[in-house]
Chains A and B, each alone.
Chain A
Amino acid sequence: MNPLISSFLAINPPYWVDTLAKIGIGLVAVLLPTGALVYLFLFKMMSFMQSRLGPMETGPYGQLQLLAEFGKFLQKEDIFPSKADRFVFAAAPFVVLVSTFMLVLVLPGGPDTHFVDLNTGIYFAMAVSSVSVIGILMAGWGSNSKYSLLGGIRAAGQLIAYELPLVLSVVGVVIMAGTLNMKGIVAAQADFGVWFIIPQIIGFFIFMVAVQAELTQPPFDMPVAESELVTGYLTEYSGMRFLLFFIGEFATAAVFSAIGATLFLGGWTVPFVDANAEIMDYIGPLVLAAKMVFIAFLIFWFRITYPRFREDQLQRLAWKFLIPLSLFNIVVTAIFKVVF
């Protein structure tokens, strides 16, 4: 952001102004795609795939439904179960949200547009995404209810199991790019000529499955298996806290889609435009948003289509199929990288 702001406004802002601006833009960058995803995909696309219309009354074609939901959740009573561990129960949604907001820091938006230029970008992203597991466990335990606890334990098992395929699928991309730096990965895709989704198609497939599981979306939504556990670890939450979890779920979907777009679909690059052009500083974020919407479309398409996995089928898929496949992918990628 620094060169962008200074070139745009022709001033060099002090560090604290820069930080505040980044915080504001970071909030917008997370919440705006979340709202768009919730409306476009959750309300509308899933409805059309079920041959129904979704919200139509609030605003034109139901566009203000999110605002109505926001207002509805704000005015609800904040319920604490009587024997619940108050601090753990209250802090859980914030832990989940913190991991999401930290994830958005590493996304590159253009050759000079970024929040923070970390040399270990993708490593930081994978590490920080694991913090949300703690939040979900806190929610399950702090609710002092057997359904929530079961949901929380199932979530912990599932999320830990799918961490490995997620990270290993990314390693293939890192080998091809030669760097952990997100901007370096985007530059490597521009140099390589073709986006990494083509040579890393197995890695992309594993990444999509692992992301679906990390977001606890169907077919991997055992922790929130609505018909079985009410809402699993979310059962005892009401009002604003529930809305925070809800936002966290869709914000994480948005951010993971953006990370997937950066790793596999070439980030902010457009096929025939020079990757270092000045104009990409401004168009880059929009291009990234479009690719993020495409990957999120895939995530929600899988969500609406498939029935739920049982917990043991889910674990078997992760440990016995995805991890060997991703290791195989890494070996083949490394061989190709060395030989050619």
Chain B
Amino acid sequence: MPKLPGMLVGLGVTAKTFIKTVFPDGPLAPPAPSKGAHTVQYPHVKEAPPDRARGVIALHHDNCTACMLCARECPDWCIYIEGHKELAPPRRAGGKPRQKNKLDRFDIDFALCMYCGICVEVCPFDALFWSPEFEFSEMKIADLLHDKDRLADWMETVPEYPAYEAGAEVKIKKLPSPSS
């Protein structure tokens, strides 16, 4: 025979959850299950994403030198980069013209992307950033290929870096801020 006191405690737990969900303001207020339940009714109510949430990848194209590291390290091969070399004027008069990489095409195919973040981690010039935006579904799969301009648009949604912890050693380094 199963233990009766334990069974009654179980019934008490479900009954208590029921009452707390249906009457979150106490027994005298009218029933309000939408408020009492833990469910967040998504399209009507949107939760703020946590800090450093990873939604979509943004490109700060001024920093990108088309080194191809992100395209190489991507496990899904979803980054398409094309670039060409240009000659920039020398820094000092009488010097040699410098070779610079210019970015022609930088596409990320978000239908393939698995949002692992390896490209963001690996970029040596801090050109790729995580943005918490996730509502970018499309009617056609081909529209999920975001080109250079769209990736630059996502930069507006990238949050500032969170503040350092109190007492942490502040690194004095030229860290590019997303808003620059």
Q: Which residues of A contact B (CB under 8 A)?
A: 45, 47-53, 56, 301-302, 304-306, 317, 321
A45 contacts which chain B residues (CB < 8 A)?
A: 18
List B1-58 residues whose CB lies under 8 Å from chain A.
1-2, 7, 10-11, 13-15, 17-18, 20-22, 33-34, 36-39, 41
Closest 8 CB pairs of A and B: A48-B21, A53-B39, A49-B14, A49-B18, A305-B14, A53-B37, A305-B10, A52-B39
Contact B7 A306 (CB under 8 A): yes
Docked pose: A199 CA to B7 CA in angstroms: 23
Residues of A contacting B13 with CB < 8 Å?
305
Q: Which of A47, A302, A305 has the most CB of B within 10 A?
A: A305
Q: Say which residue of B1, B7, B10, B22 sits within 8 Å of A48 (CB atoms).
A: B22
- A residues less than 8 Å from B7 (CB atoms): 306
Q: Hey, which chain A residues are within 8 Å of B15, CB to CB?
A: 49, 301
Taking a contact as CB atoms closer than 8 A, the residue among A51, A301, A305 that contacts B37 in the complex is A51
**CB-based contact B14/A51 at 8 Å:** no
A138 to chain B, nearest CB (A): 32
17 further A-B contacts with Cβ under 8 Å, apart from A49-B14, A51-B36, A305-B11, are A47-B37, A48-B22, A48-B36, A48-B37, A51-B20, A51-B37, A51-B38, A52-B39, A53-B39, A53-B41, A56-B34, A56-B41, A304-B14, A305-B10, A306-B10, A317-B2, A321-B1
- Closest A residue to B22 by CB, please name it: A48
Q: CA–CA, A49 to B17, complex, Å? A: 5
Tally A-B pairs: CB < 8 A: 45
Which chain B residue has the least Cβ–Cβ distance from A48?
A: B21
- Contacts A/B (CB < 8 Å), 20 sampled: A45-B18, A48-B17, A48-B22, A48-B36, A48-B37, A49-B15, A51-B17, A51-B21, A52-B37, A52-B39, A53-B37, A53-B41, A56-B34, A56-B41, A301-B11, A302-B11, A304-B14, A305-B13, A306-B7, A321-B1
Q: Collect the chain B residues with CB atoms within 8 Å of residue A306's CB.
A: 7, 10
Q: Which residues of A contact B10 (CB under 8 A)?
A: 305-306
B17 touches A50 (CB 8 A): yes
List residues of chain B with CB under 8 Å of any chain A CB.
1-2, 7, 10-11, 13-15, 17-18, 20-22, 33-34, 36-39, 41
Name the distance in Å between B65's Cβ and chain A's nearest Cβ. 49
- Please name the residue on chain A nearest to B1 by beta carbon: A321
How far apart are the CA atoms of A166 and B28 in the complex, in Å? 41
Q: Who on chain B is nearest to A325 by CB?
A: B1
Q: Which residues of A contact B38 (CB under 8 A)?
A: 51-52
A51 contacts across to B, CB distance below 8 A = 17, 20-21, 36-38
B34 contacts A53, C-beta separation under 8 Å: yes
Q: How far is the CA of A45 from the CA of B14 in the complex (A)?
A: 10
Q: Bound state CA distance, A321 and B3, in angstroms?
A: 13
- Chain B residues within an 8 Å CB radius of A304: 14
Closest to A56 in B: B41
Please give the distance in Å from B93's CB to the nearest CB on chain A.
70
CA distance A304 to B18 in the complex (A): 11
Chain B proximity of A55: nearest CB distance (Å): 11
A321–B41 Cα distance when bound, in Å, is 46
State whether A48 touches B33 (Cβ < 8 A). Answer: yes
Chain A residue contacts of B36, Cβ below 8 A: 48, 51
